[in-house]
Chains A and B, each alone.
Chain A
Amino acid sequence: MNRSFRNASAAACAAALCFLGPGTARAADPQLCAACHGPEGNSVIPANPSLAGQPEQSISIQLFQFREGNRKDPQMSPMAEKLSNKEMNELAAYFSKQKAAAPARKTSPESAAAGPKLAQQFNCVQCHGPALRGQQHIPRLAGQQYDYVLVQLRKFKARQRADLDGNMTAAAEPLNDKDIETLADYVAGLSPQ
């Protein structure tokens, strides 16, 4: 993706959020989510995760974590604050039914060689599945935005990322930054289906 398109997307995302004054637009409108998470939830902004085709429960749980203040983000927290459980479930159902786009990223040959071994060694496949496509409350990593995965893994390792059950914090602990970069590069280039 070229840089100017990326910047334009980020600007559109920011602009959409500006309209979200208290009591205005319904945060439960998937179109509003799409401003930052991309068309049908296929993100074109590196820092923002793709939602398209994610397991339904994995989306609703993260919305819950944002609303309850367990996960914090300057853009997501105010969005989630307004959502009822029902609206969270509706958004999760909608995005889980969208088709995940082919990944924009091409994994480097080095990461493609090392990634599968690391994913095995550090237990990624134990919960995210052999093809890293997620299940139930566990998100799909295949085809996810590289920057997003990178930041989340670093935050888990630093114990700064809310974690429903402690598993990800434990899993990220032994990773060094090179492992994190390799894993993020590897998963970002995997086919989501």
Chain B
Amino acid sequence: MSSCKALAAAFLTTFAAAALAQAPAAPPPSWQQGRTAEQDKSTLHPFAPHMTGRDVKELSLDKLKVPAGFKVEVWADGIPEARSLALGDKGTVFVSNRLAKNVYAVVDKNGKREVKTLLKGLNAPNGIAFSKGTLYVAERNRITRFDNIESALDNPPEAKVVVDGLDPQNQPGHFWKFLAMGPDGKLYYNVGAPGNIVMPSYFQAAISRVDPKTGVVEEYVQGVRNSVGFDWDPRTKNLWFTNHGRDWLGDDSPNDTLHHVSHKGMNFGYPFCHQGDILDPDFGKGRSCSSFDKPAAKLGAHIAPLGMRFYTGSMFPPEYKNNIFIAMHGSWNRTTKQGYNLTRVRFDANGKAKMEPFLTGFLQDEKADPPMWGRPVDVLQMKDGSLLFSDDYNGILYRVSYAKK
């Protein structure tokens, strides 16, 4: 899991605390919710980003490794807590954040990148999507639209509401949203579980979609603890998404997962069943994993897969076509850390996943605290087929390109 858990918020614990004013111990921070008594002394904790970013000159960029023929470089820096990425028709790269309140626009001018603060004062605007001239932003509680945005980067229009009321209970834990435009013209977004391992209410722990023309919402799939990345297979137009498994169930359990949605109404098991085959020690009682849909791939425990995209460009070698790139933001809930990379995933003819780290080097010491010096969040394919990815820990966007030798 990502530092997301640090965002564990106050409300449930608050009410519980009020009810138990005389109780001997206060409720733990919500990222610790679900720990066993033996885990009480655990020193594992989520990591917070450097909100002021870090100077590129102070970072070990030479440590970043990509396969032969590929190159990685800093594309833009100074973008506080750079999270989700979206590409405008005219080449503007939009960048969101989660703990701050802004959306940034990065413009490429003759090879130099200018970072503009485009939108301010938003409520955890983690989700952004661009379609047909319009920028859509998913805040904690609503989705808004900004039409013809690339013509108004210095003077953006007022937000028009697509749908409001997405967070009626001001939910703790996983309140930020990922947003993407589907091939059906509908906006897809997640509502995460309100804690590590808790019973979600009706439209939590789900991916839903809203028609931007009507503002009508429908639930799409359920049993999704928290997804912070999805994309559609360019061949089948099916939705694929990444999902974070629960914490405090051990170093190697459960796996975070990659999912393939073949039809509306699928249920992937949370909070009853994790990774398709592990019953939850509490919520799984009296349940069977066979009632739920299975993940397409297990990605590793606590590795925190965030953004993912199918590669459809022509810059990379042909074998990369339609592969999935996933940004691994974790792990923290593991004594020996793993991840902090870009992972390449492809499927063989039998549907079996083949995975390999594509870009590594952020993880410098798997036992250290912190173990890493950078954390990938989202990936974005540029028009030339190169790949951008964001690093919220340092406020940097990197570009990965390929040149034949």
Contacts and interface: CB of A to CB of B under 8 A. Distances in A.
Nearest to A67: B52
Contact of A89 (B17, B55, B99): B55
A170 B172 CA distance: 10
Interface of A: 57, 60-61, 63-65, 68, 70, 85-86, 88-89, 92, 121-123, 126-127, 135-137, 164-167, 169-171, 173-174
B48 A57 contact: yes
Contact of A88 (B9, B47, B52): B52
Contacts of B55: 86, 89
Contacts of A64: 51-52, 80, 100
Contact of A123 (B28, B47, B395): B28
Nearest to B370: A136
Interface stretch (B19-27, B280-288, B375-383): B19-27
Contact of B29 (A63, A88, A89, A126): A126
Interface string B89-131: 0000000000111000000000000000000000000000000
Given A126-B29, A165-B48, A85 B53 contact: yes
Nearest to A121: B25
Given A64-B80, A167-B8, A85 B52 contact: yes
25 contacts: A57-B50, A60-B52, A61-B51, A61-B52, A64-B51, A68-B100, A85-B52, A85-B395, A89-B50, A89-B54, A89-B55, A126-B32, A127-B45, A136-B47, A164-B48, A165-B7, A169-B9, A170-B10, A170-B13, A170-B27, A170-B30, A171-B26, A174-B17, A174-B18, A174-B26
B29 A173 contact: no
Interface residues of B, number: 38
Interface of A (DSSP majority class)? helix
Given A164-B99, A166-B172, A63 B25 contact: no
Contacts of A169: 9-10
B164 interface: no
Nearest to A171: B29
Interface of B (DSSP majority class)? loop
A64 B7 CA distance: 18
A64 B78 CA distance: 13
Contacts of A89: 50, 52-55
Contact of B80 (A85, A165, A166): A85
Q: Which of A70, A85, A169 has the most CB of B within 10 A?
A: A85
A168 to B, nearest CB: 9
Nearest to B20: A174
Contact of A170 (B14, B21, B25, B101): B14
B29 A170 contact: yes
A69 B9 CA distance: 21
A167 B100 CA distance: 16
A121 B28 contact: no
B369 interface: yes
B61 interface: no
A61 B48 contact: yes
B249 interface: no
B6 interface: yes
B87 to A, nearest CB: 25
Nearest to B173: A166
